Amino acid sequence: MHRVTPDGAVHIIRRRGDTLEAGALQPLAEGAPIHGEVVSLRPRENCPLLCDVDVLYKPPAEAKAGESSSSPSPSSPPSRAARRKGPAQVATAEYRDNWDSIWSNKKSSGALN
């Protein structure tokens, strides 16, 4: 840890394996989106500014970033958005059936009721 900003973010330098990364830690806030990993820090006894990191949650996008293949795996089905063309379907079959019964061009038999 090397700096704390007025909004509570802690700027850090993290070692993962043989690489060093610069980043920022922010406290979780209810209702706020999560950007990046959720981690837990355990300060070391001999140096409290040096912490061990436990990753509690890693977003799927970051999990896939480490993979070398850029194409989706054959075992995973394509997403629904990838299978459909055009806008999302918001009308149900019942809605469409009722719409047709009200607005269809069928001629009435002449009886009012």
| Strand pairing report for 3-4 and 10-16 | antiparallel
**Average predicted confidence (pLDDT) for the chain:** 75
- Predicted confidence at residue 62, as pLDDT, reads 58
Average pLDDT of span 83-106: 72
The span from the CA of 90 to the CA of 64, in Å, is 31
H or E segment and range at residue 43? strand 38-43
Look up the pTM and report it: 0.47
Identify the DSSP state of 88: P
- Predicted confidence at residue 72, as pLDDT, reads 46
| pLDDT single digits (tens) 8-56 | 888 888 888 899 988 888 888 888 888 889 998 899 899 887 888 899 9
HSE, CB side, 13 Å, CA atoms: give it for residue 43.
6
Higher pLDDT, 93 or 106: 93
